[in-house]
Amino acid sequence: MIEAEWWEYDDIDELADAVAGDVGFIIESAVDARGEALIALPGGTTPLPIFRKLASAKLPWKRVTIIPTDERLVPLTDERANIRAIAQNFLPSGARVFPITSDIADHKLAGNSANAKLAELKFPLDLAWLGVGSDGHTASIFAGPDLDEALNAPKGRHAVGVMPDPMPQDAPVARVTLTRSAILSARTVLLTVTGAETRELVEGAIADGQSSKLPIGRVLAEAEQPIDIHWAP
């Protein structure tokens, strides 16, 4: 089984302080070691209070490039676009915010285009920060016809297009996601999880390992680095 350490907080505020502190440390260490940092941040609502705390921290933001772990195929200005929350929080800090999609509607083509764009950046990621959906997806690695490609794309392929099936209720649209290999090649992988049900889901997925039916289980099963999981009710 993988090495996963759970960090528990009383509430989301306490979690936000701790995670913003950890991510700040990851950024500083990367900039000290290599002069720059490349980090991937999740979508959804859980990260928002953490983004606000992190963005207000005094960090060498001009040396930081931020990509989303996944993007919904909607216009970049649409509220559902993951890059929108990232840009709103981190452009004022001076970070380089790097969208991975444009206006290509076909998810396969959008995946190819994201992969080509990402070739400009210096992988591996210093951080892959993941969220988990109540259906067990992570980034936009969903159940459906593209699951196998997202999980098993060759090493070096950073992004693929995904049509979730079933569609998630909160944003029922096609996506582009980082592949499992791009996520797991990161120097640090951390998860933020809220709620008792999602916690149970993640615990079960980790215990099931490779045989997990959930995307989060299939991703984590191959992690070689220890994973920190930050949880609040």
Ligand X SMILES: O=C(O)[C@H](O)[C@@H](O)[C@H](O)[C@H](O)COP(=O)(O)O
Which residue in 5, 34, 45, 166 binds ligand X (CB under 6 A)?
45
Which residue in 15, 139, 173, 229 binds ligand X (CB under 6 A)?
139
Determine contact, residues 187/126, Cβ cutoff 8 Å: yes
User: Which residue shows structure tokens 């070096």?
Assistant: 156
d(CA 100, CA 46): 21
Does position 43 interact with ligand X (CB under 6 A)? The reply is yes
Give exposure, 84-121, as e/b (b: 16+ Cβ within 10 Å): bbbbebbeebebbbbbbbeebeebbebbbbbbebbeee
Binding map of ligand X across residues 48-77, x = CB under 6 A, - = no contact: ---------------------xx-x-----
Does position 179 interact with ligand X (CB under 6 A)? The reply is no
Q: What is the radius of gyration, based on Cα positions, of the chain?
A: 16
Which residue in 111, 133, 164, 215 binds ligand X (CB under 6 A)?
133
Give SS3 for 8: strand
Does position 99 interact with ligand X (CB under 6 A)? The reply is no
d(CA 171, CA 78): 11
Which residue in 111, 131, 136, 164 binds ligand X (CB under 6 A)?
131
Q: At its nearest, how many Å lie between ligand X and the CB of residue 93?
A: 21
Does position 185 interact with ligand X (CB under 6 A)? The reply is no
Does position 101 interact with ligand X (CB under 6 A)? The reply is no
Q: At its nearest, how many Å lie between ligand X and the CB of residue 58?
A: 26
Does position 136 interact with ligand X (CB under 6 A)? The reply is no
DSSP 8-class letter at 81: -
Helices 48-55 and 82-90: crossing angle in degrees, nearest 10, is: 20
Q: At its nearest, how many Å lie between ligand X and the CB of residue 36?
A: 24
Residue nearest to ligand X (CB): 131
User: Which residue shows structure tokens 């997202």?
Assistant: 150
d(CA 223, CA 181): 9
Q: Which is nearer to ligand X, 31 or 131 (CB)?
A: 131
Does position 82 interact with ligand X (CB under 6 A)? The reply is yes
Does position 146 interact with ligand X (CB under 6 A)? The reply is no
Binding site for ligand X (CB under 6 A): 42-46, 69-70, 72, 82, 131-133, 137-140
